[in-house]
Amino acid sequence: MAGNSSRRGAIRKSGTKKGQVVGSGGQRRRGLEARGATPKAEDRTYHSAHRKAKAASRKAETTQQRRRYAEKQADGPEYVVGRNPVVECLRAGVPATALYVAIGSEADERLTEAVHLAADKGISILEVPRTDLDRMVSNGMHQGIGLQVPPYQYTDPKDLLDMAMGSSRPALLVALDNITDTRNLGAVIRSTAAFGGHGVLIPERRSASITAVAWRASAGAAARLPVARATNLNRTLLDWAKAGVQLVGLDADGDTTLDHYDGTGPTVVVVGSEGKGLSRLVRENCDTILSIPISGGVESLNASVAAGVVLSEFSRQRRALG
């Protein structure tokens, strides 16, 4: 009977509560707690700065790998490939350590001559599988032949100057500024040796170096003429100027013409690139800016040709003095 029954009404047993009866269950409190500093833009995976940072990191890593590869290649031997280039290098007397011939290569006059020249010079001749030759030279256009050339041994700039100043003839040196074409470098070395120069100075960076192509362009003169490498070309030229040599820069807008310059004293001929010419600092430190008289229909001369013209004139002046 209602009101008198001892039966209890429906109640929830303890431990069976399914949710919070009152309050938020701590959600508001947890929502107000500090979550730390806001991450940088590049640390947020959804932000564009994060993608840019990853791309920059990949680029830097690739650049570093290329630099390490270039340093490794610079320390190791170099290869002249192709039948005509190999024959030309052997004819020019380029120092070589080995001649590699791919097994199964079709013999012709150039291959036969290369083998005979290498044998006469005492150069090792090795037959290797074509796949091995591909791997060594990193160039599939080798035509089945490759000539191994040892790394060039550069002279110290101070030693080069001391040798030139101690010579019985007045010092005649050539410095190259911004010359990046190895053929021009080889041609300048050849002209310097031909006209009685004592050596060539090149910068360590942003410049052509003595490679197999330069060897070939110099017609073997690189084996007889010392080439020095300067860490800082401008500072080296200033040190040479203090030692008593005249710095003569070549430029089409020079204030002195070749016809009116006396090149019989100790001289350093500074040659710039065809496009950019002499760099600003090097130009400012030159004692004279020399121009070569040319026909009005021609704007400028090739760098190696200009160097050859000036060296020829200086050599003529020195011969005239006896």
Q: What is the pLDDT along the chain (322 residues), one digit of tens a residue?
A: 555 656 666 666 666 656 556 666 667 676 666 667 788 888 888 888 888 888 888 888 887 766 665 555 555 677 888 888 888 888 877 788 899 999 888 888 989 999 999 999 999 999 999 888 888 876 667 888 988 888 888 999 999 999 999 988 899 999 998 888 888 898 999 999 999 999 999 998 888 888 877 877 787 788 788 999 999 999 999 999 999 899 999 888 788 888 888 888 899 999 988 777 888 888 888 888 888 888 777 777 888 898 999 999 999 998 888 6
Give the CA distances from residue 23 to residues 15, 19, 27, 28, 147, in Å, rounded to whole numbers and listed in that order: 19, 10, 9, 9, 87
What is the spatial distance between Cα 262 and Cα 258, in angstroms, rounded to a whole number? 8
pLDDT score at 9:
63
pLDDT score at 14:
65
Q: Is 124 strand, coil or helix? A: strand
pLDDT score at 178:
83
What is the spatial distance between Cα 94 and Cα 76, in angstroms, rounded to a whole number? 17
Q: The sheet that has 256-257: what strands, in order across it?
A: 227-230, 199-203, 172-177, 267-272, 246-250, 288-291, 256-257
Q: Domains in the chain and their CATH numbers?
A: 78-149 (3.30.1330.30), 157-321 (3.40.1280.10)
Q: For residues 286 and 270, is the Cβ–Cβ distance under 8 A?
A: yes
* Structural tokens at position 184: 């021009």
What is the spatial distance between Cα 86 and Cα 84, in angstroms, rounded to a whole number? 6
What is the spatial distance between Cα 247 and Cα 289, in angstroms, rounded to a whole number? 9
Q: For residues 212 and 94, is the Cβ–Cβ distance under 8 A?
A: yes
CA-based nearest residue to 108, from 139, 79, 145: 145
Q: Which helix (H) or strand (E) holds 250?
A: strand 246-250
